[in-house]
Amino acid sequence: MAFSIGELSRRAGVKVPTIRYYEAAGLMPPAPRSDGGQRRYGRADAERLTFIRHARELGFEPEAIRELLDLTAHPEQSCATIDAIAARHLREVERRIASLGRLRDELARMIGECGHGRIGDCRVVETLADHAHCAGEHP
C-alpha cells in the first residue's frame, strides 16, 4: 500500500532529492512518516508527482503548477482559469520562439556575410563589436 520515496521516484520518474525539494517548495504536500521517520506515499502522490513532472517538461513554472494543482482539487468548477494559465504559457512560449528566431536570423546573417579570411576582417567579430551592423533590434 504505502511505499517509499525511492519507489515513488521510480514510478513518477523524478529523482529522490527533487521530490524532497518539491515538498519543501510546497508542490508536494508534507508526506506522512513511518515510525522511523521515513516518508510514505500512496497512489495519489504518484499521480500528483507525475502531473508535476509532465507540466515541468511542458515548461510550466512551479508557481503555475501550484495554481493548476489547487484548481484540480475542485473538479466541479469551470476550467476557464486552467485554460487561461495554459494559454498564458503558450503565449510566453511563442514570445520566446519569436525572440530566438530574430537571434537565429542575426547569427545566420553575420556568419553568412563573413568571407572566412583573417580575424582582422571577420564579419562575425565586426558585428559583435558593433550593434550597428545588426539588421534589427534584439532584447
Partner DNA sequence: TCTACGATCTCTAGCGACTAGAGGTTCAAG
Partner DNA sequence: CTTGAACCTCTAGTCGCTAGAGATCGTAGA
Binding site for DNA (CB under 7 A): 4-7, 9, 15-18, 20-21, 31, 34-39, 56, 61-63
* Shortest reach from residue 71's CB to DNA, in Å: 19
**Nearest residue (CB) to DNA, 17 versus 101:** 17
> At a CB cut-off of 8 Å and minimum separation 6, what does 61 contact?
none
**Subset of 62-101 contacting Zn ion (CB under 5 A):** 79, 83
* Nearest by Cα to 106 from 138, 69, 139: 138
- Cell 513532472 belongs to residue: 53
> At a CB cut-off of 8 Å and minimum separation 6, what does 124 contact?
110, 111, 114
- Of 4-12, 18-26, 32-40, 121-129, which segment contacts a second copy by CB under 8 A? 121-129
